[in-house]
């Protein structure tokens, strides 16, 4: 490969601070792979980057149709960014259906790289175009680059032994090559990755790389591309980085915490979108002593985790909303038996099967209240892919310290999105202590509910330990002795105690951090994945001089102790969340503060501009009030 500088001699590359690219094509077109390759390369080149894969639930919807369109958006920059961007600057559309689905979001004057290979009457019909959009003015206002990717790729692969179908499947790499030239990317990381991916099929490696290089050369030599762009690296905190997706980070956080605690990690799980990757990834950590169990159903998954916790392991189960519904009764047992348990819920759009690959945050009240009886659990939320590591770690710490189930809420957007992650120094990870009950003295009766006076946690009595023989279960029991008890006073006491134990978790929490001043006109609260969009919106408003701050909650139950006072320091509190106002409901009930919900439930993440517009309106109202 010729060096980067030589290849860009035709024009001086234009410097850009940030670019948003969206790849859109048929499910079978390899858009996720293409986006992933661009992301890795760009991360390695030192840009800050955020990604958003958006794919259909069907593995292969009929080719060329609107439901079959799969997309991958990424944004990279020379500064710190928080979201994968709102409107793309560049849209790669591999077929008419992808064009139809995504053109309306392309920024005016943005670049459209359009594959013209499949614009026959049937293709247009499948995409629900009455007329060819290339000739009826539909594309006016965008900078359109038409390339017959199929023809170009076949030409490039004339010598390849692959059949035509297989050759056509390399057209995404041809498109990637074009973009690599446009954005001055190094092809070497992708060459390496493809060689690894298809290590057993050298002819596929050769074809994919040939297609990519041909695309690069095509972009360089043809006149249709006016210019190449350069996005210099972002100034980032010094350290070692890797690009991480949310599900990966959850797994690493669990493993790190288990190792830190010196305890075995047991995952009981049943496959479900978008959480299955957690099961997949933890299954590859057998060399680290991680036990994974693919259960017969969601209930067995959580039940086996409870059994493992009972036996002295750290029991974990991973799922999404529908699975969470099935696990409810068993989580109640863990509450009653006071055993540590971590439940990962990678939320998706519901109700029922809903939209499995689309994101939503509507399982908060389910996490809080889906069980019968007074059944409090700790609830945490991850807010970005990298934050998922710390959140999982914190979940393990709490579960072990307080002997409680901890529900971790992530969502599809965090799970499959990615960002650069500043790797933690293992030596600096917070310690996690595990105290199993020591062997009992002969003749002494073990008291399974004798509590730690500070945390109210009961002892963790591992079977196999002499002198600890005892019985527990889902029936109400007497405090201290653990004997079955239907005594009214005891039940009141135990309900109060289980609630207090969860409330005590707040004793460990640091003051809530704010983005901006701790008092002002407007506080924007957030939890989970809207964090990026809120951060971007609030940052822009702050730069305009508004007295607006933001705070993000990882701990949703119990809430940080200072939250009430923090909210009272602002004239207005707004809470954007991807549900019908669930956290807002909880906060209003708890603090009697008029928290205003800003709700969106369309299966898509918030766009920072929409949040900014909403906040601007709220700020204008506040101004109005002052004038009056």
Could you say whether residue 304 binds another protein (CB under 8 A)?
Answer: yes
Residue of the chain from 175, 210, 306, 536 that contacts another protein (CB under 8 A): 306
Q: Closest approach of Cβ 260 to another protein, in Å? A: 8
Residue of the chain from 463, 480, 486, 602 that contacts another protein (CB under 8 A): 463
Which CB sits closer to another protein, 134 or 462? Answer: 462
Give the contacts of 302 (CB within 8 A, at least 6 positions apart).
268, 317, 319, 327, 330, 331, 341, 343
Give the contacts of 188 (CB within 8 A, at least 6 positions apart).
1
Region binding another protein by CB under 8 A among candidate stretches 2-10, 331-339, 599-607, 614-622: 331-339
Burial class (CB in 10 A: 0-12, 13-18, 19+), 274: buried
Q: Closest approach of Cβ 241 to another protein, in Å? A: 5
Q: Closest approach of Cβ 310 to another protein, in Å? A: 6
Which CB sits closer to another protein, 41 or 600? Answer: 41
Asked whether 73 and 20 are in contact (CB, 8 A), the reply is: yes
Region binding another protein by CB under 8 A among candidate stretches 263-271, 356-364, 401-409, 576-584: 263-271
Site for another protein in 28-87 (CB under 8 A): 40, 43-44, 46
Q: Which residue in this structure is represented by tokens 């200072």?
A: 562
Binding mask 220-259 for another protein (x = CB under 8 A): ----------------xxxxxxxx--------x--xx--x
Which CB sits closer to another protein, 303 or 618? Answer: 303
Integer CA distances (angstroms), 448 to 337, 452, 472, 477, 483, in order: 10, 11, 8, 10, 9
Closest alpha carbon to 344 in 260, 262, 249? 249
Site for another protein in 161-190 (CB under 8 A): 189
Closest alpha carbon to 11 in 228, 180, 215, 186? 228
Q: Residue 339 half-sphere exposure, CB side, CA atoms within 13 Å? A: 28
Q: Closest approach of Cβ 187 to another protein, in Å? A: 15
- DSSP H/E element including 156: helix 149-156
Could you say whether residue 589 binds another protein (CB under 8 A)?
Answer: no
Asked whether 48 and 236 are in contact (CB, 8 A), the reply is: yes
Q: Closest approach of Cβ 461 to another protein, in Å? A: 8
Q: Closest approach of Cβ 61 to another protein, in Å? A: 31
Which CB sits closer to another protein, 92 or 303? Answer: 303
Site for another protein in 370-429 (CB under 8 A): 423-424, 426
Site for another protein in 281-300 (CB under 8 A): 285-291, 293, 295-297, 299-300
Could you say whether residue 484 binds another protein (CB under 8 A)?
Answer: yes
Return the CA Rg of the chain.
27
Asked whether 107 and 143 are in contact (CB, 8 A), the reply is: no
Length of the chain: 628
Asked whether 187 and 177 are in contact (CB, 8 A), the reply is: yes
Could you say whether residue 311 binds another protein (CB under 8 A)?
Answer: yes
Asked whether 156 and 219 are in contact (CB, 8 A), the reply is: no
Could you say whether residue 266 binds another protein (CB under 8 A)?
Answer: yes
Q: Closest approach of Cβ 209 to another protein, in Å? A: 18
SS3 151: helix
Region binding another protein by CB under 8 A among candidate stretches 393-401, 402-410, 470-478, 599-607: 470-478
Could you say whether residue 438 binds another protein (CB under 8 A)?
Answer: no
Which CB sits closer to another protein, 323 or 516? Answer: 323
Q: Closest approach of Cβ 308 to another protein, in Å? A: 4
Long-range pairs, 187-192, Cβ under 8 A, ≥24: 187/1, 187/41, 187/212, 187/213, 187/216, 188/1, 189/37, 189/40, 189/41, 189/44, 190/37, 190/40, 190/41
Which CB sits closer to another protein, 340 or 560? Answer: 340
Region binding another protein by CB under 8 A among candidate stretches 18-26, 81-89, 408-416, 458-466: 458-466
Which CB sits closer to another protein, 478 or 597? Answer: 478
Could you say whether residue 273 binds another protein (CB under 8 A)?
Answer: no
Which CB sits closer to another protein, 194 or 595? Answer: 194
Which CB sits closer to another protein, 84 or 420? Answer: 420
SS3 188: helix
* Cα gap 559→507, rounded to integer Å: 10
Q: Which residue in this structure is represented by tokens 């490696």?
A: 205
Residue of the chain from 268, 516, 558, 576 that contacts another protein (CB under 8 A): 268
* Cα gap 284→193, rounded to integer Å: 19
Residue of the chain from 329, 479, 508, 521 that contacts another protein (CB under 8 A): 329
């Amino acid at each position: 490969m010729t060096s980067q500088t030589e290849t860009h001699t035709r024009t001086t590359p234009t410097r850009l601070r940030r670019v948003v690219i969206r790849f859109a094509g048929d499910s079978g077109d390899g858009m996720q792979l293409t986006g992933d390759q661009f992301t890795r390369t760009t991360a390695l080149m030192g840009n800050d980057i955020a990604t958003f894969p958006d794919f259909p639930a069907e593995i292969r919807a009929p080719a060329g149709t609107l439901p079959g369109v799969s997309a991958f958006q990424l944004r990279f920059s020379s500064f710190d960014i928080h979201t994968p961007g709102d409107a793309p600057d560049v849209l790669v559309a591999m077929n008419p259906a992808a064009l139809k689905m995504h053109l309306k979001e392309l920024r005016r004057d943005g670049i459209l790289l359009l594959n013209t290979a499949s614009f026959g009457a049937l293709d247009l019909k499948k995409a629900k175009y009455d007329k060819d959009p290339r000739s009826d003015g539909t594309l006016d206002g965008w900078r359109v680059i038409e390339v017959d990717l199929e023809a170009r790729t076949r030409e490039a692969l004339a010598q390849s032994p692959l059949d035509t179908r297989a050759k056509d499947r390399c057209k995404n790499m041809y498109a990637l090559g074009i973009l690599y030239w446009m954005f001055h990317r190094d092809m070497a990381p992708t060459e390496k990755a493809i060689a690894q991916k298809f290590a057993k099929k050298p002819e596929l490696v050769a074809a994919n790389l040939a297609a990519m290089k041909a695309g690069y050369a095509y972009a360089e030599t043809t006149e249709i591309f006016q210019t190449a762009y350069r996005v210099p690296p972002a100034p980032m905190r010094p350290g070692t980085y890797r690009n991480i997706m949310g599900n990966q980070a959850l797994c690493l956080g669990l493993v790190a915490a288990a190792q830190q605690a010196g305890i075995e990690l047991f995952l009981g799980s049943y496959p479900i979108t978008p959480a299955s990757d957690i099961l997949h990834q933890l299954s590859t950590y057998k060399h680290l002593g991680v036990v994974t169990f693919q259960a017969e159903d969601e209930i067995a998954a959580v039940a086996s985790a409870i059994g493992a916790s009972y036996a002295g392991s750290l029991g974990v189960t991973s799922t999404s909303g529908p699975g969470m519904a099935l696990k409810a009764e068993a989580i109640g047992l863990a509450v009653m038996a006071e055993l540590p348990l971590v439940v990962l819920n990678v939320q998706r759009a519901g109700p029922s099967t809903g939209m499995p690959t689309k994101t939503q945050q509507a399982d908060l009240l389910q996490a809080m209240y889906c069980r019968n009886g007074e059944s409090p659990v700790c609830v945490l939320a991850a807010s970005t892919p990298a934050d998922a590591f710390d959140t999982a770690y914190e979940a393990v710490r709490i579960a072990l310290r307080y002997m409680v189930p901890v529900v971790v809420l992530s969502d599809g957007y965090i799970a499959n999105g990615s960002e650069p992650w500043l790797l933690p120094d293992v030596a600096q990870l917070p310690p996690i202590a595990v105290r199993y009950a020591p062997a009992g003295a002969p003749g002494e009766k073990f008291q399974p509910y004798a509590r730690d006076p500070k945390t109210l946690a009961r002892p963790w009595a591992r079977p196999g330990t002499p002198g600890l023989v005892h019985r527990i279960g889902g029936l109400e029991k007497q405090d201290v002795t653990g004997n079955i008890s239907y005594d009214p006073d005891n039940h009141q006491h135990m309900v109060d105690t289980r609630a207090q134990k969860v409330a005590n978790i707040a004793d460990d929490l640091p003051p809530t951090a704010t983005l901006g001043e701790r008092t002002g006109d407007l506080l924007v609260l957030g939890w989970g994945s809207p964090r990026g969009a809120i951060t971007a919106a609030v940052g822009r408003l702050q730069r305009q001089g508004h007295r607006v701050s933001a705070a993000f909650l990882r701990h949703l139950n119990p809430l940080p102790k200072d939250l009430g006072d923090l909210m009272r320091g602002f004239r207005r509190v707004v809470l954007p969340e991807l549900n019908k106002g669930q956290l807002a409901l909880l906060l209003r009930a708890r603090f009697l503060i008029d928290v205003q919900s800003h709700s969106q439930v369309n299966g898509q993440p918030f766009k920072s501009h929409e949040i900014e517009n909403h906040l601007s309106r709220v700020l204008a109202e506040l101004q109005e009030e002052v004038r009056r």
